[in-house]
Structure 1
């Protein structure tokens, strides 16, 4: 089955890419990871990125978040074009305006949960907004665990800390790369619920890479990549609808 390409959105967004291309290697070893991808991530929306293994999902997220530089094309956070920033300014933008959640939690073992949550703010020399911090901590259910170190927490609790850390600085957009990949189904559902609630209750914008149709069902919108190109989009997704579409892109999904 051939899937029609998705037209790029003209609506204003928190982040956007235009003709984003990423090429690895050269000559006989050249691999096109992204091929002219144009997409807008809209304010107050939870977007999931899906596609077959090797389709460019994580590369798209890394470029959109300023973690990797594209070969060509444009990446924008708000009105800021990332290609115009030097290393120091780019680091500051990622610290102040973007939140990150990764599969491996990335917590410092010597710090308490609270210290891990507020670490990016501490590095930036900023004091947390206590009312906002209390709200985030309550939302992810960590009120009684703030003095615990990562080794004293379950995997699900550690990822709750990572979610709270991503939200603590009130970023414009939060990127998650397989944020439930290391969790069992119950803990994963809790974390996905927190991400959904951060959009609906806190007004955040979330972009999540996932291979799991159940995880994608928590999103407002799912965009699908294949061979480095944006090929389809789904609003109000359900796990069954997502799986059916994935089967057209990757027979292994069956």
Structure 2
């Protein structure tokens, strides 16, 4: 096991925010020889603590692969990754599983709720499995932030899709992870429910100090973020601060144009 410390003041790129996650020279390749496919090609990026970062790019650009590598759900071919001050590259499975359980939250397109449990039981399930008691004051704050106070005894089949995803958001927040990763978290929701969930994610950053990384293809969803990292062909090609849906859409159209002329 190797452990490295990222300077909490400057991070890896000379900025002034603490770094919640960091990739340095990451390559992810599948296959070998003529069949070798490079999904990530020498990617370096810092994820700022207490911020909302979106990862965008054309289909096949490597955005989900980057998120999975940052979250320790997939291994890298070369390069290094940190969560906070801990380098996760090369961690044994048992230690990596414990780190994910204790420090990382996940929100996926599928809600992944257990149908036999009610909302509050689903929210506290990861902590129950880990043998940890919930911080009741924090749990109450999370439940209030995501607007579930009157739905805690309802089972998933008694909740709308938007409400189920809000349960999934609360589950990710409840354990107070250092960072939450979302892979198209509103992909299965209609626009109204999606806007509700995105609003809750935004509030969790602004009011609860959470750090969120979200992969999305939706310019409207990306506009909720503080910063967007754009990937193309496995490389980071651009970054946008204080995005708007129109600016994001224009940038994505630029990718489409480049694809047609390449």
Interval of TM-score (by shorter of Structure 1 and Structure 2): over 0.9
Corresponding position of 2:84: 78
Match of 1:132 among 119, 131, 138: 138
Corresponding position of 2:238: 232
Please report how far the alpha carbon of residue 251 of structure 1 lies from its aligned counterpart in structure 2 after TM superposition: 3.5
Q: Normalising by the residue count of structure 1, what TM-score does the alignment of the two structures yield?
A: 0.95
Alpha-carbon contact 1:221-1:233 (below 8 Å) kept: yes
In 1, the alpha carbon distance for the partners of 2:25 and 2:133 equals 38
In 1, the alpha carbon distance for the partners of 2:237 and 2:116 equals 44
SS state of the match for residue 28, structure 1? helix
SS state of the match for residue 19, structure 2? coil
Q: How does 1:173-192 map to 2 (within 5 A)?
A: 173-192=179-198
Q: Kindly report the root-mean-square deviation, in angstroms, between the aligned alpha carbons of the 2 structures.
A: 1.4
Matched, 1:62 2:85: no
SS state of the match for residue 149, structure 2? coil
Relative to structure 1, the CA distance from residue 159 to residue 101 in structure 2 (aligned partners, 3 Å threshold; closer, same or farther) is same
SS state of the match for residue 83, structure 1? coil
Q: How does 1:11-30 map to 2 (within 5 A)?
A: 11=15, 12-30=18-36
Deviations 1:153-211 (A, max 9, x none): 11000000000000000000000000000000000000000000000000010000000
Provide runs of 4+ in structure 1 moved above 6 Å: none
Relative to structure 1, the CA distance from residue 111 to residue 253 in structure 2 (aligned partners, 3 Å threshold; closer, same or farther) is farther
Alpha-carbon contact 1:57-1:209 (below 8 Å) kept: yes
Match of 1:218 among 215, 224, 230: 224
In 1, the alpha carbon distance for the partners of 2:129 and 2:98 equals 11
Gaps of 5+ in 1: 1-7
SS state of the match for residue 250, structure 1? helix
Match of 1:10 among 1, 14, 26: 14
Alpha-carbon contact 1:243-1:253 (below 8 Å) kept: no
SS state of the match for residue 215, structure 1? helix
Deviations 1:5-38 (A, max 9, x none): xxx7233401000001100111222110000100
Matched, 1:160 2:166: yes
SS state of the match for residue 201, structure 1? helix
Alpha-carbon contact 1:246-1:253 (below 8 Å) kept: no
Match of 2:210 among 204, 210, 224: 204
SS state of the match for residue 14, structure 1? strand
Q: Normalising by the residue count of structure 2, what TM-score does the alignment of the two structures yield?
A: 0.92
Matched, 1:97 2:77: no
In 1, the alpha carbon distance for the partners of 2:239 and 2:31 equals 30
Relative to structure 1, the CA distance from residue 134 to residue 253 in structure 2 (aligned partners, 3 Å threshold; closer, same or farther) is farther
Alpha-carbon contact 1:22-1:33 (below 8 Å) kept: yes
Aligned pair count reads 247
In 1, the alpha carbon distance for the partners of 2:256 and 2:179 equals 29
SS state of the match for residue 238, structure 2? strand
